[in-house]
Amino acid sequence: MAETIEVRLPETTPDVTESLVVFWHRMEGDWVEKGEVLLEIQTEKAVFEVEAPADGRLTKILVKRGEVAAVGDVLAIIEPVSGALSAQQVDDGETAEQAAEQVAATVTTQKADPVSPLSVKASPRIRQMAKEMGVDLATVVGTGPGGRITEDDVRNAANRVNVAAPGDESTSGSSSDGDIAELTAVRRTIAKRMVQSLQQSAQLTITAWADVTELAEQRKQLESPVSWTTLILRAVVLALREHPYMNATWGEQGILQFRHVHLGVAVDTEHGLLVPVIRNAEQFSLSDLQEIVNQAIKKAKEGKLSAEELSGSTFTVSNLGAYGIQFFTPILNPPEAAILGVGQIEPRTVLEEERLTLRERLPLSLTFDHRVTDGAPAARFLQSVVQFLRNPDTLF
């Protein structure tokens, strides 16, 4: 009998040591083909696919959905086709080659029409999801094309089961006070990184108003539209060039000040918070920066960002102005030394030369690592951002 084959967690990027299993596309006992996607893993907010290394039967899944594994850990066991054949009963008149053809036909049939003995129309991914959520697919009415069962169908069925028989509140999908929302892979990653950020740095937030009256007027006169996010990013880049100690990270051997500005831009997506990185942002003109930012935001919302596009930032900007927020306390994106929070622009009436004048101001919140720098240098950096925004000619 041939030796079994181990499916191990691959190294996705050099700085990542562990990943979260997001979903298994196959169940134990399924036939798989070399190169087909077995599972999805989550690392640093990016999702990767792990393929089957050989043809055969998936005999054992060792790391379940929602569990974390380290690089090199065994995720599953595959019994290769040759080994599986030895366990099959071959008729006296049937050759091993004919048996192999039968195995291949079985695999193809399962992939083309993955149905159960009860003829339930559901993909292997939906079957695995139902198994993990305790749902009997034979009792579910599919609402997908041709009556196929969808993820929503399984979730709705699971909710009905939980309501009918809540059981132990710690493990069911509901409690006496409400429903328990499932933890997504992105949510788990965000939670882990934010707790790590607060535990491993000395964070302090300072705030300031930026007068953007002239900038708002000049922005209206531009032939090509430029977003407020892009203008703020441009001001941050210029301020970081004047105050490089803010474009840094803490290390036990010393503080590393980066030569280039790799800007992280926090983007709210339906899957959770993602932070695409604009590399070498100091090299781009305002128009180029606008185009790059638009592309990054679009890819983030479509879930098409690669791991490289989500890693390596040296400073992050988080804009909550669209939600009517003023000042807030953004949490550092480790291992960065600072993050700038941006609020909503608001009108303000001021007295200038004995006349009431309407001005526009922008709230800014700077969180920084007090291990890397002190309050006064951080304040000087924030004031530089304010000055660049106040004088729009410096941004163009």
**136, 152, 195, 203 from 130: Cα distances, Å:** 7, 11, 31, 43
CA angle 49, 50, 56 (to 5 degrees): 135
Residue 42 neighbours by CB under 8 Å, 6+ apart: 19, 20, 21, 22, 48, 185, 186, 188, 189
Sheet bearing 68-70, strands edge to edge: 46-51, 37-43, 18-24, 68-70
- Tokens 């305002």 appear where? 286
Q: Is 153 known to be catalytic?
A: no
Lookup: tokens for 253? 């051997």
Q: Is 136 known to be catalytic?
A: no
Question: What's 225's DSSP letter?
Answer: -
CB-CB neighbours of 188 under 10 Å:
16
- Tokens 């309407």 appear where? 358
N residues, the chain: 396
Tell the burial category of 130 from Cβ atoms under 10 Å away from its Cβ (0-12, 13-18, 19+): buried
Distance in angstroms (rounded) separating the CA atoms of residues 121 and 383: 62
Helix (H, G, I), strand (E, B) or coil at 184: coil
Given 55, 113, 374, 393, the catalytic residue: 374
Residues annotated as part of the active site: 370, 374
